[in-house]
């Protein structure tokens, strides 16, 4: 009865004429400080059945937002990275240590880490995110208080550590010991939830490159996290983003730092295997 | 109804009065709506004629119909952003009759299997709904009839 393709074309033309010009998902290259060239578009990993090409969320943003990320002096997220550099040397906790006291190679030691997280951890017996490793050092090794999952000190530290992997391809393992959590994450990704009864896939797989009211949908990739959002003027953790998306569809989110969100984080990261770690991205 | 109470507190009295649905003895609760095999609903949900002017407001309201999130509608030019997830609703009343449109509005999934379009008049079968929406439909029965009356005016 309806001709979806024709209708779709008609509606796109109307929208464009009505109000604004469409962003093109297949945008220009993402080059930072005129020297670091990032992969913001590449072939989808083999496990992804429904997509052939994957794109960074950067591609879907307006050019003004895009350019903020292209120079570290303009990137508002870098203020928080500077705060984390200071925090790195702060002595806290009963053990009287700073991060620097033990990680003597400097934060550069962590080059490559962001690209492979989250991952299965033998000792923990489950999936561990960057936040888990940081808090393990704080509680077990520094005898200091754990940071909350998305508090500013935590997002700043994950930004600083993530930046050490900028430009490296996301490469999380999905097989072996990680397989069980990955399957759970996949299940969550495709499960319609909430009063609006939508799945992550409804928006980020079936309708990316499309306006939903004023929002231009991306593939919901996590390679740019933590992300500085113009909307709330701070760095946002991956789990906080998941939580926000679930609340928007009137679903009860899982808790930040829950096994479900770690599993979902692993699965979503694996959908971006091959895209560059962006360090600290800028989004709206 | 919690949602109505919120609206009355939060929005101007005039708007709240408009958004307050009449519940009559004839109102059919969501679980009792009868769909035909193509997903159409022949019977009015309330027995009260829809108010197209109110329906137009509900259509654009982000917390209620929010139809503009996914549909272009050239009849509403005062709102800047029209989504494009679904087809344009220009001339939609020429394509579907009243019962079919009521069915699409009540529970789109009976007409379009697996649709991303929310079921606006359904209270059961959800996974992990936020507590404050549990057991509630997105729209009240009269809201559906009002939006229906409005989209029935969308002819080419």
Q: Is residue A178 very low, low, confident or very high in pLDDT (cuts 50, 70, 90)? A: very high
CA distance B56 to A202: 26
pLDDT at A28: 80
Q: Residues 40 to 69 of B: which have CB under 8 A from any A CB? A: 62, 66, 68-69
Q: Is the pLDDT of residue B14 over 50?
A: no
The reported pLDDT for the residue numbered A9 is 39
Domains and CATH numbers, chain A: 6-75+169-283 (1.10.760.10), 78-163 (1.10.760.10)
Question: CA B101, B44, B20: angle at the middle one, nearest 5?
Answer: 95
B124 touching A (Cβ < 8 Å) = no
From A187, A181, A168, select the one nearest A121 (Cα to Cα).
A181
Q: Is the pLDDT of residue B18 over 90?
A: no
ipTM, 2 decimals?
Answer: 0.84
Q: Of A250, A254, A260, which to mutate for an interface test with B (greatest number of B Cβ within 10 Å)?
A: A250
* A245: annotated active-site residue: yes
Task: Provide the sign of the torsion angle of the four alpha carbons B64, B68, B73, B78, taken in this order.
Answer: positive
Mean pLDDT value across residues B96-112: 98
Classify the C-alpha dihedral B106-B112-B118-B123 as positive or negative.
positive
Mean of all residue pLDDT scores within chain A = 92
State pLDDT tens for residues A246-262. Answer: 999 999 999 999 999 99
pLDDT in tens, A145-175: 999 999 999 999 999 999 999 999 999 999 9
Walk me through the domains of chain B, giving residue ranges and CATH numbers: 26-151 (1.10.760.10)
Nearest to A174 by CA among A45, A3, A25: A45
pLDDT of residue B23: 60
Q: Give the closest-approach CA distance of A193 to chain B in angstroms.
A: 5
- A232 versus A13: which is more confidently predicted? A232
Closest CB to A210: pick one of B85, B119, B127.
B85
Task: Evaluate if residue A27 carries a pLDDT over 90.
Answer: no
Mean pLDDT, chain B, rounded, equals 88
Which segments of B11-97 does DSSP mark as H helices, in order? 13-19, 52-60, 92-95
Q: What angle do CA A269, A72, A153 make, to 5 degrees?
A: 60
**Whose CA is closest to B143, among B50, B4, B39, B12?**
B50
* Beta-carbon separation of B69 and A8 below 8 A: no
């Amino acid at each position: 009865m309806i001709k979806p393709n024709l209708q779709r074309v008609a509606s796109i033309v109307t929208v464009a004429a009505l109000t604004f010009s469409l962003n093109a998902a297949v945008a220009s290259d993402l080059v930072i400080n005129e020297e670091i060239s990032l992969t913001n578009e590449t072939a989808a990993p083999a496990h992804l059945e429904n997509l052939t090409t994957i794109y960074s969320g950067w591609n879907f943003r307006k050019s003004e937002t895009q350019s903020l990320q292209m120079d570290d002096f303009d990137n508002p997220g870098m203020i928080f990275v500077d705060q984390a550099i200071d925090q790195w040397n702060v002595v806290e906790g009963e053990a009287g240590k700073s991060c620097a006291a033990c990680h003597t190679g400097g934060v550069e030691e962590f080059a490559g880490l962001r690209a492979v997280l989250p991952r299965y951890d033998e000792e923990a017996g489950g999936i561990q995110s960057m936040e888990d490793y940081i808090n393990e050092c704080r509680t077990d090794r520094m005898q200091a208080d754990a940071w909350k999952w998305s508090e500013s000190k935590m997002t700043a530290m994950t930004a600083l550590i993530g930046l050490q992997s900028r430009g490296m391809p996301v490469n999380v393992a999905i097989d072996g010991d990680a397989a069980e959590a990955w399957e759970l994450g996949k299940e969550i990704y495709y499960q319609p939830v909430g009063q609006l009864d939508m799945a992550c896939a409804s928006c980020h797989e079936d309708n990316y490159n499309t306006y939903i009211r004023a929002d231009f949908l991306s593939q919901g990739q996590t390679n740019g996290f933590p992300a500085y959002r113009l909307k709330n003027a701070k760095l946002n953790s991956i789990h906080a983003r998941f939580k926000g998306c679930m609340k928007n569809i009137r679903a009860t989110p899982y808790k930040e730092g829950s096994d479900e969100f770690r599993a979902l984080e692993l699965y979503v990261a694996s959908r971006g295997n091959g895209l560059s770690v962006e360090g600290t991205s800028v989004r709206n | 109804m919690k949602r109505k109470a919120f609206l009355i507190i939060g929005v101007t009295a005039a708007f709240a009065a408009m958004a307050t649905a009449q519940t009559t003895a004839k109102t059919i609760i969501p679980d009792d709506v009868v769909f035909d095999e193509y997903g159409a609903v022949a019977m009015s949900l309330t027995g009260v004629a829809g108010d197209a002017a109110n329906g137009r407001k509900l259509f654009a309201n982000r917390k209620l119909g929010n139809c503009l999130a996914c549909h272009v509608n050239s009849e509403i030019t005062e709102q800047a952003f029209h989504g494009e997830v679904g087809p344009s609703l220009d001339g939609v009343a020429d394509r579907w009759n009243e019962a079919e449109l009521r069915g699409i509005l009540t529970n789109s999934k009976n007409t379009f299997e697996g649709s991303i379009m929310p079921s606006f008049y359904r209270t059961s079968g959800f996974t992990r709904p936020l507590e404050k929406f549990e057991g509630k439909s997105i729209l009240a029965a009269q809201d559906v009839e009002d939006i229906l009356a409005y989209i029935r005016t969308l002819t080419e």
